[in-house]
Copies of this chain bind each other. A is one copy, B any other.
């Protein structure tokens, strides 16, 4: 408790953010130096580190993320094994950045989502809206000797929110401008946007998923070319737009036109999304497929802007981040569509796709210690702003 009280008063802190995503590819660790909080926050990235996850462990996590193959014994064990992995990863992250674990003042640990059920549903007469991140933060605190904040999503879900997205708060701290209305676009597997008006208060921030990001493109690159993705958009560049296919995708996809706030994922844009169309359009060349789907991805982003933002506010800048920003064809398609706006790629290392979420949870932990709410009710749907995270002493 003494450690916590000292931490509250400490001016400059070194915080580590730890994140494992639903794809369970790696433990992402960001180490930042931070001063202040809220709109007075200043921080710099000291290091970013990706720690490998053993394939057997990955398989076991994915097995326990699915109703049919999960069980309480393995979930119980994984909840304690993951903090051991995180602690090991943090040791390494410190090492490669010439830090010692004792230099770390605070950890923000997202944990591993193995279930996310934010929709309204009943269980035995009770509201059973819920989410489950494992990798117990108090275990991590004991193993590392560092005050740890974890379980960030539960508090928002408890108050009727979706528990996601939480990154918009971070975007707000970093990109809020005194003069410009900014639209942030992050292109990961799914594409999402965050609108931050000039001089916005936190509750004026809007954020929602808009449609596919790299997910459909990656699926086709794998299927046709056995590639993980279309590097630099070179395949799309070679192909031609097929209007019939474009229209068929548009007709099939009911998410893009849906009213925000909205979220989507692999359950909608996963492997099954294109299956029917692949059967229906057997004669289209692979590069035409990829060009058309890439253009559709850009269109879906624009369409959300056109329908839900343009009528209400004049945006000054579109700032693009995420792996999809490196797809040159996708990026130029966006420039074409958003010809009225300044379209820029975010180059600041602090907020690039790879490290962004890990940095975000380090920042959210710092805000928890400062006593600041970090959910945005207008974004998550929660009843009220609330301080997120559980505080675990070493």
Residues of B within 8 A of A325 (CB): none
Interface string of A350-394 (1 = CB under 8 A from B): 000000000000000000111100000000000000110111110
Q: Which residue of B lies closest to A391 (CB)?
A: B391
Chain A contacts with B in 54-87, Cβ cutoff 8 A = 54, 56-57, 60, 64-68, 70-81, 83-85
Q: How far is the CB of A22 from chain B (nearest CB, A)?
A: 13
Q: Which of B60, B132, B368 contacts A76 (CB 8 A)?
A: B132
Given A71-B68, A73-B67, A115-B76, A158-B142 contact (CB < 8 Å) = yes
Does A245 interact with chain B (Cβ within 8 Å)?
Answer: no
A79/B1 in contact, CB under 8 A: no
Number of this chain's copies in the complex: 2
B residues less than 8 Å from A125 (CB atoms): 54
Complex-state Cα separation, A115 to B132, whole angstroms: 16
Asked if B158 contacts A138 (CB within 8 A), the reply is yes
Known contacts A370-B1, A391-B391, A393-B387; A154 and B128 CB within 8 A of each other: no
A298 contacts partner chain B, Cβ-Cβ < 8 Å: no
Are B72's CB and A114's CB within 8 A? yes
Question: In the complex, what residues of B have CB within 8 A of residue A392's CB?
Answer: 155, 390-391
Residues on A facing B (Cβ under 8 Å)? 1-2, 5, 8, 54, 56-57, 60, 64-68, 70-81, 83-85, 114-115, 117, 121, 123-132, 136-139, 141-143, 151, 154-155, 157-159, 368-371, 386-387, 389-393
Q: Apart from A64-B72, A137-B390, A143-B158, list 18 A-B contacts with CB within 8 A.
A: A1-B371, A5-B8, A56-B124, A57-B124, A67-B72, A68-B71, A72-B132, A77-B117, A77-B121, A81-B128, A84-B127, A85-B126, A136-B154, A138-B154, A138-B155, A138-B390, A139-B155, A391-B393
